[in-house]
Structure 1
Amino acid sequence: MIDRRKFLAAGVGVGVTALTAGCKPTTAATASQQVLRAADVHVDGYPTVEAVRWIGRYLSERTDGRLNTMVYHSGQLGRETVTVDLVRFNALALARVYLATMNDSVPATRILSLPFLIDSTPHLRRTLDGELGKSLLGSFERRDLVGLAFYDSGSRSIYNTKRPIHTPDDLRGLKLRVPVSEIFVRLIHALGANATPLPYGEVFSALQTHLIDGAENNIKSFHSSRQFEAAHYWSESQHTFTPDVLLMSRTAYERLAPKDRELIREAASASVPYARGLWDSSENKAREAIVAGGVKVNAVDRESMRAATAGITREYLREPELARLYEYVRATA
């Protein structure tokens, strides 16, 4: 595993040139392989990790090995908020992060974190493949980031160590981990539980030490993080379908030759169906695995949860831009 302290120190000490080796203008002097280094908190083999590797193969095949990617998975470079900053300041070329991580710094992204807005995975994909997806990817520019692609992150449901959850009443008194996002904190509070914002990598130990009683996430992450070994109740609330996003350093992007910029965008776009295929198969396998591991799965009264969280949506829709995006998303349902 990479020594994270040395990695970060090198970023400061050498002006990050070595860490974004694939981010210089393409000239005869830099015609050797250029590596775009990427970060992901998920484990090796996770669909998003494999999607970024696929981008590397795509680039390598089309540049005779001159461009490629290297993925630091399993949170080797820190939590998502840290890796976003590494990308913003060009200490890293790429980062795959959960979109809710960007809700506070890029307000337009809040639309896809609103509870019970997206009905299904096909609905999400139609939304992201249309004009709204393009618009949201462009919104990262104000943060010195280039939005390259959205990847599936599944529907998020509630899991805990105590009991099955059927209605909001069953959540009262429970402490649930949420991403560091205002919307998710308010969502869990509206459902009657106590929200505890924690980085993804700290959830398993927090469950083991009873710092929290449960969390909410997609079923693939619930399985791959092995949190199912500590929390044996999975309740299918499917309260959001918030996706992941692949971000690139704007500085790194602009230092590339125009043809290489086009190629990276092309590769990122082409990686989306590949990632979706991996996601669909891995999601099914994860469900089978947690059931085999003793997790009790139950349906949820989603209408009671939708009613409990409706006030959150109404308040955010006071913002004209979010109201406009809301109408677009519902029109694609």
Structure 2
Amino acid sequence: MKKILVVMLALSIACAFVFAQAAPETQTVVIKWGSVHTPESLTTQLMNKVIAEVNEKTQGRVKIEGYPSSALGGSRDLVEGVQNGLIDMCTEGPAQFASVGIPVADIAEAPYIWKSREHMSRAMNGEFGSWLNKTFLENNVRILGTFYYGVRQLTTTDKPVNNVNDVKGMKIRVPQSAMYMAMIEAWGAKATPMNLGELYLALSTHVADAQENPLATFNAQKFYEIQKYVVLTQHIICPNCIFINEKVWQKISPADQKIIQEVIANTITWHDTENVKLEEQLKKDLVAKGVTIITPDVESFSKVTGPYVAAKFESKWGKGTWEMVQGL
């Protein structure tokens, strides 16, 4: 009897060991998501909503951590980091990747290429977006979603602008993107590239005379404290994308990938609706804060910008690509 008990005990221990070996441990995929935007911005609200819902729905299998306000670095740091795997995920304009090995990326933010917000969304979520994502995947980056960031407008510290001639010689801050710098060249102004986090001080000290961003960014960064004029140049109907390092993406199970994609798609729908409302409200709010809003001669900007930029970048975008995108 004693021998039987010993044998049974040994068998039970062996079985327990086998099952312990066979049962895979559920490992949490931790993802760090970086952004240059302030905590109160609508872009960060989008980030926070995605994080909360993904973390809940994946039940601990995926844990996304948000780092707004350039906590992981400026725009260049973020896109380089996502490409080389030092940063898992970021929210940025696609044009930022043009300077780190994806030259066609900046066509998505080319000045006056989009006719409307609907045109941009249709193209970025259609065949053009699929083609762009394929190009990014060849560089170890995946586009998880595209949202409407806003219409970029010119804002100036102390000089009113009514047409393109009024900006000649002006120092205008732009992102660190060759395409943005080319746009400023076309206007006859001086491009001053720098990270968003450095811009408030640069405007305060007149290192830059002007900047260009959507109204939501102008408001969130409190540029109205130091700038007098918003000039509705409407030069770029601007997409922003949620990017993830492809190797990080492949660590996530297909089921959880589907959850993430669905959450992002639904949250983008919410964001874009809110952003359109916000833009209209912001015009009223900024006037109340003492900002003068100017409706300039937009054609004076567009007629010198589109042809100049299209010709300058045709060799890297491909002949006819500009016309193809405008026709979508």
* TM-score tier (shorter): 0.7 to 0.9
My pick for the range that moved more, 128-137 or 245-254, is 128-137
C-alpha deviation, 1:199, in angstroms: 0.8
Tell me the equivalent position of 1:77.
Answer: 72
> 125, 132, 136: which is aligned to 2:121?
125
C-alpha deviation, 1:320, in angstroms: 8.1
Tell me the equivalent position of 1:94.
Answer: 89
C-alpha deviation, 1:68, in angstroms: 3.4
Q: Distance in 1 between matches of 2:84 and 2:212?
A: 31
Q: Deviations over 1:86-145 (max 9, x none)?
A: 223333321111222122332222222222111222222222222112221232123211
Structure 1 pair 51/323, CA: closer, same or farther in 2 (3 Å)? farther
> 185, 191, 194: which is aligned to 1:189?
185
Q: Distance in 2 between matches of 1:114 and 1:180?
A: 14
Q: Is the 8 A contact 1:160 1:232 kept in 2?
A: yes
My pick for the range that moved more, 319-328 or 117-126, is 319-328
Normalising by structure 1, report the TM-score: 0.85
Q: Deviations over 1:132-186 (max 9, x none)?
A: 1222123212321111111211111111112221111101221110111111111
Q: Is the 8 A contact 1:176 1:215 kept in 2?
A: yes
**Amino acid of the structure 1 residue aligned with 2:254:** P
Normalising by structure 2, report the TM-score: 0.86
Tell me the equivalent position of 1:225.
Answer: 221
Q: Distance in 1 between matches of 2:311 and 2:69?
A: 36
C-alpha deviation, 1:296, in angstroms: 0.6
**Amino acid of the structure 1 residue aligned with 2:82:** V
C-alpha deviation, 1:291, in angstroms: 1.1
Q: Distance in 2 between matches of 1:326 and 1:314?
A: 6
Percent of matched pairs sharing the same residue: 25
SS in 2 for 1:241: strand
Q: Distance in 2 between matches of 1:261 and 1:40?
A: 21
Tell me the equivalent position of 2:268.
Answer: 272
**Amino acid of the structure 2 residue aligned with 1:66:** R
Tell me the equivalent position of 1:58.
Answer: 53
| CA RMSD, 1 decimal | 2.1
**Amino acid of the structure 2 residue aligned with 1:153:** Y
Larger radius of gyration: 2
SS in 1 for 2:284: helix
C-alpha deviation, 1:202, in angstroms: 0.8
Matches within 5 A, 1:1-333: 28-31=24-27, 34-104=29-99, 105-316=101-312, 318-319=314-315, 321-332=317-328
Q: Is the 8 A contact 2:36 2:69 kept in 1?
A: yes
Q: Distance in 1 between matches of 2:201 and 2:102?
A: 30
Structure 1 pair 299/218, CA: closer, same or farther in 2 (3 Å)? same
Q: Is the 8 A contact 2:103 2:316 kept in 1?
A: no
Q: Distance in 1 between matches of 2:153 and 2:57?
A: 40
SS in 1 for 2:25: helix
My pick for the range that moved more, 217-226 or 287-296, is 287-296
Q: Is the 8 A contact 1:156 1:216 kept in 2?
A: yes
C-alpha deviation, 1:322, in angstroms: 4.2
Structure 1 residue ranges, 4+ long, deviating more than 4 angstroms after superposition: 320-324
C-alpha deviation, 1:40, in angstroms: 0.7
Q: Distance in 2 between matches of 1:88 and 1:112?
A: 18
Q: Distance in 2 between matches of 1:285 and 1:322?
A: 40
C-alpha deviation, 1:331, in angstroms: 2.4
Q: Is the 8 A contact 2:29 2:252 kept in 1?
A: no
